[in-house]
Amino acid sequence: GAGVSQSPSNKVTEKGKDVELRCDPISGHTALYWYRQSLGQGLEFLIYFQGNSAPDKSGLPSDRFSAERTGGSVSTLTIQRTQQEDSAVYLCASSLPVGSNQPQHFGDGTRLSIL
């Protein structure tokens, strides 16, 4: 398929463990975003990559959260020493350059549950 792919779709882990979430954006999309959505809440911005520019990390809630984007394509979001409040759906989106009026294309998210 040509959509944004996220894996795993569900992840259950114990408090204190590290987790890695993966996002495969649509080919050719230079902009990539990570968001967090807690139950019944709106989307919370985490981090934004645009091409080769330095990422906008202003939404990362703590230094336990980090993300990278290799080769301008696949991105991984890493959460270290997970806490129960990290439980949420993590959504990835990609789009053509931000300067355009193109929509974001979202994956279906990774549902993370911290026991």
Partner 1 sequence: KNQVEQSPQSLIILEGKNCTLQCNYTVSPFSNLRWYKQDTGRGPVSLTIMTFSENTKSNGRYTATLDADTKQSSLHITASQLSDSASYICVVRIYGGSQGNLIFGKGTKLSVKP
Among 25, 75, 79, 107, binds partner 1 (CB under 8 A): 107
The residue ranges of DSSP E strands in the chain, in sequence order, are 5-7, 10-13, 19-24, 31-37, 43-50, 65-69, 75-79, 88-95, 105-106, 110-114
88: contact with partner 1 by CB under 8 A: no
Smallest gap, in angstroms, from Cβ of residue 104 to partner 1?
7
d(CA 16, CA 37): 21
Q: Judged by CB under 8 A, how many residues of this single chain contact partner 1?
A: 24
Q: Which is nearer to partner 1, 39 or 63 (CB)?
A: 39
Q: Which is nearer to partner 1, 3 or 16 (CB)?
A: 3
